[in-house]
Amino acid sequence: MKKIDLISMSVRNLWRRKLRTALTILGVVIGACSIILMLSLGLAMEKNMEEQFAQMGDLTLIQVWSYGGGNSTQEIDDKVLKEFEKVDHVVRAIPMLNDINVYLSSGKYRTPDPYWEIYVMDAVDIEALGYKVEEGRSLLPEETRSILMGKNVLQYFTKRGKQIDYSKELEFMPFDLEKDKVTLEVIQYDWETGKPQLEDVNGNKIKAPKGTEVNVVGLFPETSMDLARKVIIPRALYEELKKEQIAYKKAMGWYTDEEAKRDKKRTYNEVMIKVDHQDNVVSTLEQIKSMGYDAYNNMEWLEQYKQEAAAKRMALGGIGIVSFVVAAIGIANTMMMSIYERTKEIGVMKVIGAKLVDIKYLFLMEALFIGLIGGILGASISVGISLILNAIGEPIARMLGMWGGTTVSLVPPWLIAAGIIFSTLVGLVSGYFPARKAMKLSALSAIRTE
């Protein structure tokens, strides 16, 4: 029997019993929807988790720090930086110089206290770390009078002489990248009077150091947990400010021998290590820890959360599988009922010379069509429900425990294809034993059946 004849007969047989076929297909639709939607929720959880971790910084960056404490093996200097760069998969080791606190001022605004998150990086360091500005541009290699700021830094400016009221929501200082400049001042101001401190420990007047005016060429987004409050200055500007700060402290009588020793030795409390690929982060992290340094990367938490998400996805998928088992039983039941109703038809087919395998293929094809149609409809409905869930958004995300998530349900193309293929296979498997039963029916007994 030709394949086209088998397909035609299968379609006619299904159409003759429209209600039963429709109900069986409905079971497959429910099963396909269940498994696709359950897995889509698990995929969305994992995606939201990765988005939240991405906001915390580049996942290929390893943070290494040393707090000294008299343990020389924990100190990080230029020699140790070279050792880090020799570790497999390390692209660059970037010291986080953060040992100067200066006042930032712009027009009638100034930070009421020395700003604490000032980091030293050149253009090549910024590029290696993958830092991206939201407004303006990044630093150029030749620039020595330009800086980058996080948008949230603008919340720490107040009108000169006033303190920040932390009991209220912080307001952003109005700032125009094209026009406004910022001045960096190493001088200290009296907290109560707001006047510059220009008398040394003996009460003698000293000369006020001049501030350094710079251009802010770029602003980091306020949504970046890592960059929103940072100020990044080039290394040449740092060296200049450091000399001015040391000179000011010496003049005031504040510069201690211990501080002088630390500045001369130039050790770093924190280093950012850039790894060539996310897959190599964990192994590189272990190598650095084995060198005796404290190190951290968000991948440690991400791997743990991925395992938890995978467990949740399996649990959700299990719920969908139960629906598919019910659908499979429905298909098998439909095919068995069809055999009992068509016993005489099967007998006639055998008597007129139909091959046993053709009879088997006829029933398998009917089961396949039920699974295929149910899978296609189930996948289509799943995509629609997914769109509705994402449109509703936040309340559904909270109900499912996806705090801060932007996606409730994620249905990638491969999941749609997998749902349709799986539904079709369920149909084939469910129809296999009924088809074998039809094939093994005695022709004489079948013909005699009324």
Question: Whose CA is closest to 276, among 10, 59, 446?
Answer: 59
Q: 404 in helix, strand or coil?
A: coil
Asked if 107 and 119 count as a contact pair (C-beta separation under 8 A), the reply is: no
State whether residue 64 is helix, strand or coil.
strand
On whether the CB atoms of residues 293 and 66 are closer than 8 A, the answer is: yes
For residue 266, is it left (φ>0), alpha (ψ between -120 and 50) or beta? left
How far is it, in rounded angstroms, from Cα 139 to Cα 199? 37
- pLDDT level of residue 69 (50, 70, 90 thresholds): very low
Q: What is the pLDDT of residue 106?
A: 95
Least confident of 61-75, 115-129, 146-160: 61-75
User: What is the structure's pLDDT at 56?
Assistant: 61
The residue among 260 and 307 whose pLDDT is bigger is 260
Query: Does residue 46 contact residue 306 with C-beta atoms inside 8 Å?
Result: yes
In tens, the pLDDT along 227-271 reads 899 999 999 999 999 999 999 999 999 999 888 888 887 788 889
Domain with CATH 3.30.70 in the chain: 60-96+268-296
User: 0.95 exceeded by the pTM?
Assistant: no
Please state which CATH class domain 60-96+268-296 belongs to.
alpha beta
Tens of pLDDT, residue by residue over 389-431, are: 888 766 666 665 565 556 778 889 998 998 899 888 888 888 7
Instruction: Look at residue 72 in the predicted model and tell me its pLDDT.
Output: 41
**Cβ-based neighbour number of residue 371 at 10 Å:** 31
Q: What is the pLDDT of residues 5-16, one digit of tens each?
A: 667 877 787 787
How far is 294 from 270, CA to CA, in rounded Å?
A: 10
Q: Is the pLDDT of residue 380 over 90?
A: yes
Dig out the tokens for 219 from the structure: 């602003």
Taking residues 25-36, what's their average pLDDT? 86
Contact 24, 192 (CB under 8 A): no
Q: What's residue 259's pLDDT?
A: 86
Average predicted confidence (pLDDT) for the chain: 82
Q: Which residue is associated with the tokens 């299968």?
A: 10
| % of residues, the chain, pLDDT over 70 | 83
